Amino acid sequence: MRLRDLREDNDLTQATVAKYLHCAQNTYHQYESGKRQIPLNLLEKLALYYHTSVDYILGLTDDNKTYEAPKMKA
């Protein structure tokens, strides 16, 4: 996962991100280190926060752009 890289690239502390996620800093540290699986709802929240995709955070793609849904025709 790219949690640490994203956090450091944005000059954030673990405590800052943990506060945003409403979890303890130690819990966030465990997510970042891979000792604990991050819940999907928090993963989605981080993707929105960092303006990227869940796939990018998980390392499934190197494209860090957010997914844009196709526009519906009227």
pLDDT at 63: 86
CATH architecture of 3-58: Orthogonal Bundle (1.10)
pTM: 0.83
* DSSP notation for the chain: --HHHHHHHTT--HHHHHHHHTS-HHHHHHHHHTSSPPPHHHHHHHHHHHTS-HHHHHTS-S--SPP-PPPPP-
Tens of pLDDT, residues 4-23: 999 999 999 999 999 999 99
pLDDT at 2 over 80: yes
Whose structure tokens read 């954030």? 12
Tens of pLDDT, residues 36-52: 999 999 999 999 999 99
